[in-house]
Amino acid sequence: MAKTGSGKGAYTAEEARPYQETLRMLRARLVGDTNHLADGALNRTGREASGDLSKMPIHMADIGSDNYEQEFSLDLLAAEQATLAEVDSALARIEKGEYGACVECGHRIKKSRLNAIPYTHYCIDCATERDQESRG
C-alpha cells in the first residue's frame, strides 16, 4: 500500500475533539506513571550509591530479587515512554488536521478502533498487514 499525505481520511477538528481530550488525559496519566516508575527504579541505586545501606539486602537471593524488580521497572518505564511518544504523535496529528487518517493507506480509521487505541497510526487492515509481515 502506498503512503499518502493527502489526509483524505482525516477527522475534522470537531470529530477529533473527543479523542484529543482522551489523549490529553492519557498523556497526563502516562507522565505521572513514568515519573513514578523512574523514581522507584532509580532511587534504589541512588540510596545505595550514597552509602545508605539500611535497606541493603543481606542474602544473595534478596539482591537478585532487587535487581529483577529494578529491571522490570525499567522495562515498564521504557514501554510507558514509547506509549507516551505515540500519544504525543497523535496529538500532533490532531493539530495538523491529519488525525484519523491511516498513515499507510490514507483511509479513515474507524471510530471503534480509535476508541480502543486513540493513538494508533493505522487502520485495522494496515495494522493486520504490518503484523503479519513482522511475523512472516
Q: Splitting the chain (136 residues) into consecutive groups of 10 residues, what average pLDDT does each group show? A: 54 97 97 83 55 58 72 87 96 97 96 97 96 90
Q: Which residues contact 91 (CB under 8 A, 6 or more apart)?
A: 20, 23, 24, 27
Q: Which fold has domain 13-135?
A: Four Helix Bundle (Hemerythrin (Met), subunit A) (1.20.120)
Check if the beta carbon of residue 104 is closer than 8 Å to that of residue 122: yes
Q: Which residues contact 88 (CB under 8 A, 6 or more apart)?
A: 27
What confidence score (pLDDT) does residue 3 get? 38
**Vertex 74: Cα angle to 59 and 134 (nearest 5):** 125
What confidence score (pLDDT) does residue 126 get? 97
The strand pairing partners of 101, in sequence order, are 108
56: closest CA among 69, 44, 68?
44
Q: Which residue has the cell 521504557?
A: 78
Task: Work out the number of other CB atoms within 10 angstroms of the CB of residue 77.
Answer: 19
The domain spans of the chain are 13-135
